[in-house]
Every structure is written in structure tokens, then in C-alpha cells.
């Protein structure tokens, strides 16, 4: 198993919520057992789809940019250096409020999977 990864050698893909991510560490590829770590990019003016993870708790850490975060009934601004905890079964999304890429790290326990992700219809 690979215990070290290099971001530039990891091919990005689109998640169910519409964000472009690179899985920096994932048990299916890297030997870690209980979590995944990914870098997500949200283009200027774009936002992820409102979604929730049935089993997974998630932490977003904003690396670059400015966004508007929705977690359950709360809506708040996030900027570089901020971290956000998202409990399982909690609808969430992030909108890029800046003119450049919004870049964030996403840590998931258990690891991210499409099967554990449900899109939520806005109420």
C-alpha cells in the first residue's frame, strides 16, 4: 500500500455534490483504515449541491478563498484558515463567494463514498 501521495500525481474527479476533488488519502488505495482526506476545488461563483452523508462525519478546512457555508439550518462565511465540522445526516454545501478558486481539505470518517452521499432537495 502507498503511505505517501503527491497531489500533482492524483487525478481529480467530480463527486456527487458537483465538486472537483483529489483524494489525497483513501483506504482503498493508501492503506489507512478509517478516514479519507481530499482536496476540493470550487470555481468562482459556483457552489456544491446540497447533500448529506448518512454515516460520515466530515471536516472542511478552508485553504484558500472565501465561501458561504450551509450546515443544517446555519449559514455563515468561511475564509482561509477556518475549519467546519459537519455531523452525519446533516445537509451541507459551500458556495464560492470570491473571484478565484475556493480550495478546501475534506476529512471524512468513515471515508467518502458516492453510496453514502445523498442529494437534498432545497426546501
Count of the separate structural domains present in the chain: 1
The per-residue pLDDT for 2 is 60
Query: Own/partner pairs for 10-19, CB < 8 Å, 24+ apart?
Result: 12/41, 15/40, 15/112, 15/114, 15/117, 16/49, 16/51, 16/114, 16/117, 16/119, 17/48, 17/49, 17/50, 17/51, 17/93, 17/117, 17/119, 18/46, 18/48, 18/49, 19/48
Query: Is 5 part of any domain?
Result: no
Query: Is 1 part of any domain?
Result: no
In terms of residue numbers, what domain contains 113?
12-119
Give yes or no for residue 113 having a pLDDT over 60: yes
Q: What is the pLDDT of residues 21-51, one digit of tens each?
A: 999 998 888 878 889 999 999 999 999 999 9
Query: Is 24 part of any domain?
Result: yes
Give yes or no for residue 62 having a pLDDT over 90: yes
Query: Is 85 part of any domain?
Result: yes
Q: What is the CATH number of the domain that holds 91?
A: 2.60.120.10
Amino acid at each position: 500500500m502507498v503511505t505517501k501521495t503527491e497531489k500533482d500525481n492524483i487525478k481529480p474527479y467530480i463527486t456527487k455534490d458537483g465538486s472537483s476533488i483529489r483524494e489525497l488519502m483513501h483506504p482503498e488505495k493508501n492503506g489507512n483504515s478509517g478516514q479519507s482526506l481530499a482536496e476540493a476545488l470550487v470555481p468562482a461563483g459556483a457552489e456544491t449541491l446540497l447533500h448529506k452523508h448518512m454515516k460520515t462525519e466530515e471536516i472542511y478546512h478552508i485553504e484558500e478563498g472565501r465561501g458561504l457555508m450551509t450546515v443544517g439550518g446555519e449559514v455563515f462565511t468561511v475564509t482561509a484558515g477556518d475549519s467546519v465540522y459537519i455531523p452525519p445526516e446533516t445537509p451541507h454545501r459551500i458556495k464560492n463567494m470570491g473571484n478565484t478558486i475556493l480550495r478546501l481539505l475534506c476529512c471524512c470518517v468513515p471515508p467518502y463514498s458516492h453510496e453514502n452521499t445523498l442529494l437534498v432537495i432545497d426546501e
